[in-house]
Amino acid sequence: MNRRLSFALAVVLLLLLVLAVPYCGHWWRIDQCLDAGCRWNDAQDIREYPAGSGP
């Protein structure tokens, strides 16, 4: 019984990680953009640079 419970918990943890990684990656890109002083355009899902600067 203990082995089955451990296996079930491992599967649930793996599933949570698989679902959370894409969301965290998107959030991380937005956070890096804002930290660099840029704006994040949610409608187009892109970084917008301030006038006079760019990549």
pLDDT by residue (tens digit) across 6-44? 999 999 999 999 998 888 888 999 999 999 999 999 999
Confidence at residue 12, expressed as pLDDT on a 0 to 100 scale = 97
Name the token pair of 15: 């599933």
Q: Which residues contact 48 (CB under 8 A, 6 or more apart)?
A: 38, 39, 40, 41
Nearby residues of 41 by Cβ (< 8 Å), 6 or more positions away: 47, 48
pLDDT of residue 50: 84
Q: Which of 25, 55, 27, 23 is nearest to 40 (CA)?
A: 27
C-alpha distance from residue 48 to each of 5, 12, 24 (Å): 48, 38, 20
> What is the pTM for the complete model shown?
0.60
